[in-house]
Amino acid sequence: MANFTRLARNVPPGKKTEPQEEPICRASGTQIFVPNTGQGLNCIAPGVPTPPYSGFLEQATCTTISGWAWNPQQPNTPINVDFYSDGAFLISVPANQLRQDLANAGIGNGVHGFSFTTPNSLRNLATQTHLLEARFPGTTGNLTQSPRTLTCTNALPVATLTAPAQNGQFSAPATITLAASATDADGTIARVDFFDGATLVGTATAAPYGITLANVAAGAHAYTARATDNVDGVGSGTTCRATEVSSPNRGFQTSFFRDIG
């Protein structure tokens, strides 16, 4: 229980407080006055701040996150909601969407809703579980019904390198066309990346997926096609290995492509 200091209203300096003089008391940070007191004194309960925010995390699925939040002391001003995944900051979202149900309930002007697509980082692996928190801005305070455990699954895309053909023969400096097919069981293909070993050599963003490499040097080349889907899920691919040997003196010796992945 808070202890309040009793002061008199309009007491000149040096004058003692008389019993009949009216004390004044007001709740800290508000215009709420204690009954039967005057209106000039702030009586603060030490260490007992009253959070001004209110809100609900109403939905948290692998497709949509939604709810509402507001500051009753600024009923017509939107606030942000900070989201954390497993304790790490994820995204800050403005609660500034008009919702008539909030306005009807007296939640300011009703412009305090939020709804957004679940970030890809929470749903781009084959299976993953995260602890999702929705916090009031700049605080560790959670919205009602937060945190929530969110488990999402994603069928990773599959890419298959279809060119060059197996046992293809090339002489350096070679021109080699790489092509791939790609599928995704529960979404769409965003892009197909082509690698020579660990080096990205090209990207195709639309079917048919393919690139052309010019002036390919003699030597061993391991080509990989790797697909990424619409939620940033990355699948595996088929690898072809090409060996090219060409010399003015020795001529072409060996070239072949072989599926190894």
Query: What pLDDT is attached to residue 238?
Result: 67
Query: Stretch 61-76: mean pLDDT, rounded?
Result: 96
C-alpha–C-alpha distance, residues 41 and 109, integer Å? 32
β-strands 24-27, 38-43 pairing = parallel
CATH class of domain segment(s) 54-153: mainly beta
What does the pLDDT look like over 93-147, one tens digit per residue?
999 999 999 999 999 999 999 999 999 999 999 999 999 999 999 899 999 999 9
pLDDT tens figures, 137-181: 989 999 999 999 999 999 999 999 998 877 677 888 888 999 999
Section 224-229 average pLDDT: 94
CA nearest to 238, candidates 176, 192, 172, 188: 192
104: helix, coil or strand?
A: helix
| CATH code 2.60.40.10 region(s) in the chain | 158-259
Residue 14 has pLDDT above 90, yes or no: no
Please give the CATH topology (third level) of the domain spanning 158-259. Answer: Immunoglobulin-like (2.60.40)
* Cα angle value 232/234/183 (rounded, 5°): 95
Alpha carbon 116 to chain centroid, angstroms = 10
